[in-house]
Amino acid sequence: MQSRTEGATNPGAGFDAGQTYKRVKMAPKLAYRNLFHDRLSLFVTLIGIVFSVVLVAIQCGLYLGSERTIAAVIDQAKADLWVVPIGTKSFDDASLLTGREKYAVLSTPGVQTVEELVIGFAGWRKPEGGKKAFILVGSDWKSGGLAPWNIQQGSLADLDTPNSVAVDKSYFPDLGITDVGQNAEINNQRVVVTAVTKGIRSFTTLPYVFTTIGRARQLVGAAPEQASYQLVTAVPGTNIDDLQKTLAERLPDTEVLKHAEFRDRSLKYWLFKTGAGGALIAGAALGIIVGVVIVAQTLYSSTKDHLNEFATLRALGASASYIHAVILIQAILSALIGYAAGITLSLLAIVATSKTTLSVVMTPNLAMGLLALTIGMCIIAAISAIFKVTRIDPAGVFSR
């Protein structure tokens, strides 16, 4: 009798484990029907999520692409230590050393090889007229120095011919050329394009033009012994910290940096000291904020429109946690659909920019991070709707 009485006075007391399982199983179905019942609200919700995903993906992809672009040439130049002019802010911000550094470095115990790089800004006169500033890179790749990579047309051997240079195909429109073998002028000296690379871009959007170190010195007016950087390779087993300290003492008019230090300096300069990185991060944050606001507003409106239904469920004995689960499942379903559409559009945009000078990168970690961010964003947005439902009075359904 006692159990019957409890069952009569407490509707929920008679539910067994099977009934609980059925209620839990019904939550996704109810969430699905609520979500797709109002197609217009769903469309608005998805637009907000897709916009947020695309904006964050492009902004984060630009940030990653910028990092890779800034460090691309540095990463290709294999060296343990860099001897650079005092005050050098980044790889592109180069001046010339005095010219006595190479022999001082070579005579230092623990040094295996030294390679020189000549970096300088110059003017490219187009075949049809007009000028374009660019960054000249000169090295001796025959002895292990930095060489242009990803060569699509021509070869390194072709660059040994007189007046030869290599340019990237993405900069053809900027340089006024259309194919290998065309002529131009650099600082009033004739050059010919004998090699074409793919994917070698600069963060400043100025083209990189590669040539031999001797030709680079002629084009920028440097002395035969001068270079912008000395790339030092240590004897295996040498303590790099000790070698760095020794070279710094022997070359007081220069800076001696480890490879990672010079790389980090270039990244920090372009991404933070110029404000470019802050703009990219601000754009990504804006996408998140806009997405949360739109999704929160839409989920709140959708929940408000269904308050009578939720009140009915409460009156029938549905727990608050069950209704909260319905709302959260709606949010997660919206997140998954919006993410799928958003990441697809983002990948299409990245493919569309792959042949331009704009570098946008999508990595597996970024894709997974965007998925987690989208789900989290929608869950946060659903909290406002949950607060509204929590205040529902189940008895209100009987006053209609």
What confidence tens digit (pLDDT) does each residue in 107-124 have? 999 999 999 999 999 999
Share of the chain above pLDDT 90, in %: 32
Give the span between the Cα atoms of 36 and 378, in whole angstroms: 16
Q: Is 138 exposed, middle or buried (0-12, 13-18, 19+ CB in 10 A)?
A: buried
* pLDDT of 40: 77
What confidence tens digit (pLDDT) does each residue in 255-264 have? 999 999 999 9
Q: Is 51 exposed, middle or buried (0-12, 13-18, 19+ CB in 10 A)?
A: middle
Q: Distances in Å between the alpha carbon of 99 and those of 83, 116, 223? A: 12, 10, 8
- Count, residues in the chain: 400
* pLDDT of 21: 43
Beta-sheet pairing, 189-197 with 164-168 = parallel
* pLDDT of 5: 39
Could you please report the per-residue DSSP string of 203-239?
TTSPPEEEEEHHHHHHHHT--TT--SEEEEEEPTT--
* pLDDT of 209: 94
Residues of the chain with pLDDT under 50: 1-22
* pLDDT of 307: 66
- Cβ distance 250 to 106 under 8 Å? no
Q: Distances in Å between the alpha carbon of 41 and those of 62, 88, 267? A: 32, 55, 43
* pLDDT of 20: 46
Q: How many helices (H) and strands (E) does the chain have?
A: 12, 10
